[in-house]
Structure 1
Amino acid sequence: MCGNNMSVPLPAVVPAARKATAAVIFLHGLGDTGHGWAEAFAGIKSPHVKYICPHAPVIPVSLNMHMAMPSWFDIFGLSPDAPEDEPGIKQATENVKALIDQEVKNGIPSNRIIVGGFSQGGALSLYTALTTHQKLAGVLALSCWLPLRTTFPQGTISGVNKEIPVLQCHGDCDPLVPLLIGSLTVEKLKSMINPANLTFKTYSGMMHSSCIEEMMDVKQFIDKHLPPVD
């Protein structure tokens, strides 16, 4: 994911139509790439926002019989009590923070950056937002969960993001990451950030995927929290 890692291609980027004054960094799910999400954001883009959809490194994934595929970290199981790849999650978080730092160097302040993702990418974006000292504009958490939620030490959340706006979305027919996991995630988040800033939306009949209604909600969230500054 970083520039010095030759095995991971550069992110898929939807550039701003004019000078970029805000950015969305969005992380795909297991086995996917950033291209499909870049295409989705191209359909709802705002002219002052840059959309960055990085690609995960290809690693063996325990859940899939150690087959190598794009994955931000290893996954051992999908049940709420499955063991988790703590070192991998923490390393992936550092990589996302480096992407945020890169945009700050490019002239976009961190409080004009939304991080987000789908499924495993959404999990990573939540963990990053709750552990970074970079003040962010918001989090898009689609069809996902909060990693390492049982071991989250009190006080881990840096004060800068206690008030962070979060849009969490989930399909009510998701067979891979069931709605129950989404609901458990919401309850945990309510104890960690200001619940008034947390929005949880469910979509009737939606499986482990996205839909037009959800993307419209995503666009509304981005437009609200990354308004034009000029």
Structure 2
Amino acid sequence: MAAPINTGRLLHSTVVLPKGANLASVIFLHGSGDTGSGVRGWIETLLRRDLEVKNTKLIFPTAPLRPYSPMNGALSNVWFDRKKIAPTADECIESVDIACEEVGKILREEADSGISKNKIVIGGFSMGGALAYHLAYRFHRDIAGVFSLSSFINKDSIIYQEVKQVKNGLPPLFAAHGGKDPLVLFDWGVDTVKALESLGVSTVFHEFPRLHHELGVQELRLLEEWLSKILNV
């Protein structure tokens, strides 16, 4: 049976509940072609356990199945479309904003359940991190923070245009990138972080010289430490 084409609504979320009280939430967005359960499994394989952040729910949404231009229109679980994988490419902003609205519903659901937005962090790997940038710096500047792993913002992104109008109150950023990344080049990731920093974003950046376009054990451990500090629950 063919998988349904769903260019808007999220397919499902994998949720990991905390062992103790639920006082905070982390939303982790997968990269292109993956799923929420897929990236959670990847983390479990590397760490031999889930991410561990005290009193914090982990939410791993799955992007809709939609035509993806870099794959000649083939269907893939991607957060948004893009013309090509390059810093200078124009953003397909309509599809970005649809994804922001859908993932934003998770943020609102968490807030409605009693989790303060300043106890919510959103981030992701590759395209997931890119969407997290849009969510955090355009639509939800009152969250606790954002993380970006092997990710990017396009050179003339609307994010930069909108952040220029904001004087303070921008969520802090944890970013990490592999020095041997062949897909989202290291310099692209660095330029993204430097641009945000120049606009007033408090940043923590880690380079992993031997890492390709992938997650790493030390990277995830540093992320856990940062999340625990930012959420402080």
Q: How does the TM-score come out when normalised to structure 2?
A: 0.87
> Are residues 155 and 225 of structure 1, via their aligned partners in 2, closer, same or farther at CA, if it must alter by over 3 Å?
closer
Q: Secondary structure, in 3 states, of the residue corresponding to 1:135?
A: coil
> Are residues 133 and 206 of structure 1, via their aligned partners in 2, closer, same or farther at CA, if it must alter by over 3 Å?
closer
Deviation, 1:176, is 0.4
Residue number among 14, 17, 33 corresponding to 2:16 in the alignment: 14
Residue number among 24, 27, 35 corresponding to 1:25 in the alignment: 27
Unaligned runs of 5+ in 2: 1-6
Q: Secondary structure, in 3 states, of the residue corresponding to 2:232?
A: coil
Deviation, 1:122, is 0.1
> Are residues 157 and 105 of structure 1, via their aligned partners in 2, closer, same or farther at CA, if it must alter by over 3 Å?
farther
Residue number among 70, 77, 81 corresponding to 1:74 in the alignment: 81
Amino acid in structure 1 at the alignment position of 2:185:
P
Deviation, 1:159, is 5.8
Residue number among 191, 198, 215 corresponding to 1:184 in the alignment: 191
- Larger RCO (CA under 8 A, 6+ residues apart): 2
Q: Residues 32-111 of structure 1 correspond to what in structure 2 (within 5 A)?
A: 32-39=34-41, 40=43, 42-111=49-118
Unaligned runs of 5+ in 1: none
Q: Residues 171-210 of structure 1 correspond to what in structure 2 (within 5 A)?
A: 171-194=178-201, 197-210=202-215
Deviation, 1:18, is 2.0
Q: Is the 8 A contact 1:72 1:92 kept in 2?
A: yes
> Which residue of structure 1 aligns with residue 147 of structure 2?
140
Q: What is the RMSD of the two structures over their aligned residues, measured on CA atoms?
A: 2.1
> Are residues 157 and 32 of structure 1, via their aligned partners in 2, closer, same or farther at CA, if it must alter by over 3 Å?
farther
> Which residue of structure 1 aligns with residue 4 of structure 2?
none
> Which residue of structure 2 aligns with residue 128 of structure 1?
135
Mapped to 1, the partners of 2:139 and 2:167 lie a distance apart of 10
Residue number among 147, 161, 164 corresponding to 1:153 in the alignment: 161
Query: How many pairs align?
Result: 221
Amino acid in structure 2 at the alignment position of 1:183:
V
Mapped to 2, the partners of 1:227 and 1:50 lie a distance apart of 14
* Cα deviation code 1:46-67 (max 9, x no counterpart): 3400000000000010001111
Q: Is the 8 A contact 1:27 1:55 kept in 2?
A: yes
Name the % identity. Answer: 30
Mapped to 1, the partners of 2:190 and 2:89 lie a distance apart of 17
Q: Is the 8 A contact 2:83 2:89 kept in 1?
A: yes
